[in-house]
Amino acid sequence: MPVGGNLSFVTLTAGGDHTCGLTAAGSAYCWGYNPNGELGDGQPVGSTQSRPSPVAVTGGLLFAKISAGGNYTRGLTSAGQAYCWGGWGNGELGDGGPSDRRRSSPGPVAGTIVFAQLSTGYRHACGLTTGGQAFCWGKNQSGQLGDGTLTVRSAPVPVIGGTLFQQVAAGGDHSCGLTSAGAAACWGSDAYGQLGDGTTTNRATPGVVLSGIPITALSGFGQSIFGLAGDGRGYAWGWNLDGQLGDGTTTDRSTPVVGGGGLSFAEIAAASYHSCGRTSAGAVFCWGRASSLGNGSTTSSSVPVRVSLSWLSLAGTSFLAATAVHCAPGPSCPRYH
């Protein structure tokens, strides 16, 4: 159903319990759950006042990109400066202050790093510089920051190894990067095989995904990861409890398998309990947990089913961020999108 407020957005991003959008002018609006200031509307932190319709993010900043996490939000200006608001005591703000700080208005990320891209995970974030160097900050209990430690970081730290990436994707408690040659590397938690290296051993530094297939784009905001190949097929690995890899099984995979039913997609988005793909013709398919398939069914599916969108064509429309649920599986993630 339509979002209230009669606003027009050029991009959307959905977090754990809140959503944000950018207008064509770069103004940010958010709505949903708000106990940590993740809506950026200036309410006192700890407020229980959620917003059922969009409210303007305070400060008057204009953003080129926006990304929502589990309980925080990040915006990137056209000049490459990153701002954060919200937080949950794990250094998510990236401002160099105490790691348990929260804020209800945008504050700059520490340092003078110029970012070309940001990716927001459940309780950590990563960014790429214009030169392709990866930096991460936030929670780090599984090594998802890639700095060789398990230490929470409240300011960006470089991912070690010297690899330059064209894309970075922060997930539930892991991260992945894509090189210009189409090779994927991941680091952090590997409990479900989400590092794709054939093991279930955590890594605090990047390790190569065992694929051999050149990848053009990555998506992995839960514990399941998809790599999109040049022919449009998706290669998936990681958690598969509800069939979110789309390979016809519910078996976790520690190395990539053909997912998404082998269909050809222009774009794939992997969330926590489901995944979706958009074909070049604008048809949308989803697979995984029943409540997320968008076809009116109450039955989960480990193969793609078509979303009931007869009233809307999504050809040429990006929906990656809008379908991503930044949440690690388990009791700490009770709400599913």
Residue ranges for the chain with pLDDT beneath 50: 311-315, 319-337
**Cα–Cα dist 134/20, whole Å:** 25
pLDDT value at residue 89: 83
Spell out a b/e string for 205-234, using b for 16 or more CB atoms within 10 Å of the CB, else e: ebbebebebebebbbbbbbbbbbbbeebbb
Q: Is residue 72 part of a domain?
A: no
* Residue 235 domain boundaries: 171-201+211-337
* Number of Cβ within a 10 Å radius of residue 283: 17
pLDDT value at residue 291: 83
284 neighbors 277 (Cβ within 8 angstroms): yes
pLDDT value at residue 303: 96
Q: Is residue 224 part of a domain?
A: yes
Burial of 174: CB neighbours in 10 Å, binned 0-12, 13-18, 19+: buried
* Number of Cβ within a 10 Å radius of residue 136: 26
CATH of the domain at 253: 2.130.10.30
pLDDT value at residue 309: 62
Q: Is residue 35 part of a domain?
A: no
**How much helix, strand and coil, in percent to the nearest 5, is found in the chain?**
5, 35, 60
Q: Is residue 327 part of a domain?
A: yes
pLDDT value at residue 73: 95
pLDDT value at residue 310: 52
**Tally of domains in the chain:** 1
Residue 7 DSSP one-character state: -
Q: Is residue 337 part of a domain?
A: yes
Q: Is residue 8 part of a domain?
A: no
- Residue whose pair of structure tokens reads 């095989």 in the numeric block: 193
**Cα–Cα dist 44/36, whole Å:** 9
Q: Is residue 180 part of a domain?
A: yes
What is the per-residue DSSP string for 288-322? ESGGGSSSS--S-EEEEEE---TT---TT---HHH
pLDDT in tens, 23-50: 999 999 999 999 999 999 999 888 778 9
pLDDT value at residue 326: 36
Q: Is residue 138 part of a domain?
A: no
pLDDT value at residue 221: 77
pLDDT value at residue 328: 40
pLDDT value at residue 230: 93
Q: Where are the alpha helices (DSSP H) in the chain?
A: 320-323
